[in-house]
């Protein structure tokens, strides 16, 4: 990675990844793009709708990028409300980004998700290679995306790499319509109001990771020796698995009177129930040294500290 184009760069991951990559590779070497305009951050920025294949190619060519990090997508809960729109954006954008990478000989990264698993996947310690029959449009897109990325590697030699991210928790940019968003909202509401009403039910376990660990994982995977990669698209990665009452319990250690209530949203609960309780990241550890720093305890300390200062 020397000159990098990011799509969807103003989202939950992109806003922080852009800053991190600029720190490592130099501000001018990271070209942020998004369908929305960026008025604030410094550094190269282009407005780009990923459905516009010609413009994507032109921007990548103009900036002479050697890496494309494709983040623009509709997330699980939103995709379920607008499935055909999600198919067109998630698959169309991905094909355009892969084609640009093929034509300009770029390294390529796009995230998959724990949403690529479904109700028939083994729920506990979900293996790297296992049954993937998701029941959401988002999951269908992610499985197809993993396969398409593998295809571009095998057929055209594009250096594609990917991670199956769990729910990502961060304090900079709010999440954009996923099923695990409650695990971010709970911290905001704990600080603002001392209570939170969860749309995910008690006892529902999902994998999660703190954003600094997710950003490190992207850089580490992209810099990994390709000879070591048996898998490419996409590696299971996770840092923790918890249910709403456990994150609430952790917050209560710092905000004693914090109160958790439930008002379960059937649509998002159904998605959560179709996903694993916890996934196995052994392949990522063995093939490129994946590791995390934060667990539920240390993440909670950092989230509460950072958000208290922000809010």
67-70/259-262 β-pairing: unpaired
Binding ligand NAD (rule: CB under 6 A), the pick from 3, 5, 6, 12 is 12
Contact 111, 132 (CB under 8 A): no
Residues acting as catalytic residues: 138
Distance of closest approach, residue 127 Cβ to ligand NAD, in angstroms:
18
Give CB contacts under 8 A, 24+ apart, made by 34-41: 34/7, 34/8, 34/9, 34/10, 34/72, 35/8, 35/72, 36/10, 38/9, 38/10
- Laid out side by side, the sheet with 107-109 consists of 45-47, 30-34, 4-7, 67-70, 107-109, 160-161
What is the CA angle 263-268-270, rounded to 5? 105
Which residue lies nearer to ligand NAD by CB, 58 or 259? Answer: 58
Q: Is 8 in the site for ligand NAD (CB under 6 A)?
A: yes
Q: Please name which of 95, 111, 221 lies closest in space to residue 156, comparing C-alpha atoms.
A: 95
Helix boundaries (H) for 158-210:
182-193
Residue 217 tokens read as 């994982």
Q: 224-263: which residues touch ligand NAD (CB under 6 A)?
A: none
Length in residues, the chain = 311
Contacting ligand NAD within 50-69 (CB under 6 A): 50-51
Question: Which is nearer to ligand NAD, 34 or 213 (by Cβ)?
Answer: 34
Which parts of 92-131 interact with ligand NAD (CB under 6 A)? 111, 113
**Residue 130 vs 252, nearer CB to ligand NAD:** 130
- Answer yes or no whether residue 7 interacts with ligand NAD by CB under 6 A: yes
Instruction: Tell me if 89 contacts ligand NAD by CB under 6 A.
Output: yes
Closest approach of ligand NAD to the CB of residue 203, in Å: 21
Q: Does 36 bind ligand NAD (CB under 6 A)?
A: yes
**Of residues 124-183, which lie at the interface with ligand NAD (CB under 6 A)?**
165, 167-168, 175-176, 178, 180
Among 32, 75, 97, 183, which residue interacts with ligand NAD (rule: CB under 6 A)? Answer: 75
- Shortest distance in whole angstroms from residue 195 CB to ligand NAD: 24
Check if the beta carbon of residue 147 is closer than 8 Å to that of residue 186.
Answer: no
Give the span between the Cα atoms of 36 and 129, in whole angstroms.
Answer: 36
Strand partners, 81: none
Placement of tokens 């590791």 in the chain: 291
- Report if residue 34 touches ligand NAD, rule: CB under 6 A: yes
Nearer to ligand NAD, 173 or 252 (CB): 173
Chosen residue from 21, 30, 73, 304 binding ligand NAD by CB under 6 A:
73
Two tokens, residue 147? 């396969």
Rule CB under 6 A: which residues touch ligand NAD? 7-8, 10-14, 34-36, 48-51, 71-73, 75, 89, 111, 113, 165, 167-168, 175-176, 178, 180
């Amino acid at each position: 990675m020397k000159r990098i184009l990011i799509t969807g760069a103003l989202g939950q991951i992109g806003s922080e990844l852009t800053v991190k990559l600029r720190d490592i590779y130099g501000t001018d070497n990271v070209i942020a793009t998004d369908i929305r305009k960026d008025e604030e951050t410094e550094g190269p920025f282009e407005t780009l709708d990923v459905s516009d294949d010609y413009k994507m190619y032109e921007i990548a060519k103009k900036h002479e990028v050697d890496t494309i990090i494709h983040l623009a997508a509709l997330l699980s809960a939103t995709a379920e409300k607008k499935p055909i729109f999600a198919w067109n954006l998630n698959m169309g954008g991905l094909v355009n980004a892969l084609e640009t990478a093929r034509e300009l000989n770029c390294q390529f990264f796009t995230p998959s998700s724990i949403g690529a698993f479904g109700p028939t996947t083994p729920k506990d310690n979900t293996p790297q290679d296992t049954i993937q029959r998701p029941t959401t449009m988002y999951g269908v897109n992610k499985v197809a995306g993993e396969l398409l990325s593998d295809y571009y590697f095998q057929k055209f030699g594009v250096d594609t790499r990917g991670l199956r991210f769990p729910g990502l928790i961060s304090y900079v940019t709010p999440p954009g319509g996923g099923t695990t968003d409650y695990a971010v909202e709970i911290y905001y509401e704990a600080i603002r109001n001392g209570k939170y009403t969860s749309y995910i039910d008690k006892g529902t376990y999902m994998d999660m990771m703190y954003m600094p660990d997710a950003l490190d994982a992207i850089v580490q995977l992209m810099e990994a020796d390709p000879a070591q990669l048996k898998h490419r698209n996409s590696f299971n990665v996770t840092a923790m698995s918890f249910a709403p009452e456990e994150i609430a319990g952790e917050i209560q250690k710092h905000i004693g009177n914090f109160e958790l209530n439930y008002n379960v949203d059937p649509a998002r609960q159904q998605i959560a129930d179709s996903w694993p309780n916890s996934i196995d990241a052994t392949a990522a550890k063995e093939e490129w040294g994946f590791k995390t720093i934060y667990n539920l305890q240390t993440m909670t300390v950092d989230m509460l500290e950072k958000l208290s200062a922000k809010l």
